[in-house]
Amino acid sequence: MSELQDAFARKFYYLRLSVTDVCNFKCQYCLPDGYRPDGRKSFLTLDEIGRLTRAFAAMGTNKVRITGGEPSLRKDFTQIIETVAATPGIRKVATTTNGYRMAKQVADWRRAGLSAINVSVDSLDPRMFHQITGENRFHEVMAGIDAALVAGFSQVKVNTVLMRGLNDGELDRFLGWIKHHPIQLRFIELMQTGEMDELFNRHHVRGALIKEQLLRTGWQQKVRAHNDGPAEVFWHPDYQGEIGLIMPYAKDFCASCNRLRVSSLGKLHLCLFGDYGVDLRDLLTEDNQLASLQARLREALADKKASHFLHQGNTGLTPHLASIGG
Ligand code: SAM
């Protein structure tokens, strides 16, 4: 079976799979009014997730990130991990979570086959955390990170969306935290999704500024592996932790794209900022549809563009990242 490759010779080893749109946090930059339930939506079932993962794995995908919405809100989240991890060819199963369930469940997730975990922590100040996320759960989330390290994860990745005037003064505090903790702290540049021009203009900080500061103070850039995510990663001999920078507005961000996304409703998205999704759901109902599903994936990939058009202010049809998995 041929590998997933686009017209620009990019190969796709990494699938980001959203398993729900529902989220229980109200992050200012994502779902400021909270998730609005829509009774008509039914998210991918465990069987559909199994078929989808088998199709991707047979075409070279070796890493799957389970995301959302908040993936751990799914009652069958542990079984989802198990199903993906048991798929031949899948070597790495990661998740991105707001961490609210980690303290209680992370050991089960690890036993089920989870190999990497990203937790979103936008501030180390509990009040600022509450202000940004709409939830007063800082201590719970931090306890979850400790539990993950105790459960045997050798490193936890932490996602922090940098925002001017809110958390951008916390760099030293974050550095102090990772000095003696095996945390890869990933600063994500605020992205403009849907209707958030004012918030974006007020709070966007360029990741390049942090990069300059890191390079001035002895941090060194690591080389990327073929199935690594989009972060530029830096290490420092005096620090146990690492820093990752995710800068979607940087030149060449798309050149190393190795990711495809499938939404919780079973649509393939070729780019986070693409305008449309290719429906896969009709080919996920029976095991014997595998070949047709793979043919559709191959055909869709022929359409993947060289780059997103964020610089021109084109944010695609994505109102917020929760709808197709950030
Ligand atoms: N609920 C999970 C979580 O909180 O991590 C997973 C989904 S969330 C959409 C995934 C990541 O996208 C989070 O780290 C979040 O901070 C990030 N994100 C969401 N909207 C964003 C935006 N407009 N700009 C940058 N990052 C964003």
CA distance 4 to 210: 34
For residue range 97-121, list pLDDT tens digits in order.
Answer: 999 999 999 999 999 999 999 999 9
For residue range 144-169, list pLDDT tens digits in order.
Answer: 999 999 999 999 999 999 999 999 99
The answer to whether the CB of 322 is under 6 A from ligand 1 is: yes
pTM, two decimals, is 0.93
How many angstroms separate the alpha carbon of residue 204 from the centre of ligand 1? 15
Pocket test for ligand 1, best of 129, 164, 188 (most atoms within 8 A of CB): 188
For residue range 253-287, list pLDDT tens digits in order.
Answer: 777 777 899 999 999 988 766 667 899 999 999 99
Would you state the pLDDT for residue 319? 60
The answer to whether the CB of 68 is under 6 A from ligand 1 is: yes
For residue range 9-68, list pLDDT tens digits in order.
Answer: 778 899 999 999 999 999 999 999 999 988 888 999 999 999 999 999 999 999 999 999
Q: Which phi-psi region, left, alpha or beta, contains residue 60 (left: φ > 0; alpha: ψ -120 to 50)?
A: left
Would you state the pLDDT for residue 305? 64
Would you state the pLDDT for residue 310? 54
Protein residue with its CA nearest to atom 1 in ligand 1: 70
Nearest residue to 25 (alpha-carbon basis) of 135, 166, 163, 188: 135
CA distance 71 to 242: 25
The answer to whether the CB of 22 is under 6 A from ligand 1 is: no
How many angstroms separate the alpha carbon of residue 154 from the centre of ligand 1? 23
The answer to whether the CB of 191 is under 6 A from ligand 1 is: yes
The answer to whether the CB of 97 is under 6 A from ligand 1 is: yes
CA distance 101 to 118: 13
How many angstroms separate the alpha carbon of residue 300 from the centre of ligand 1? 26
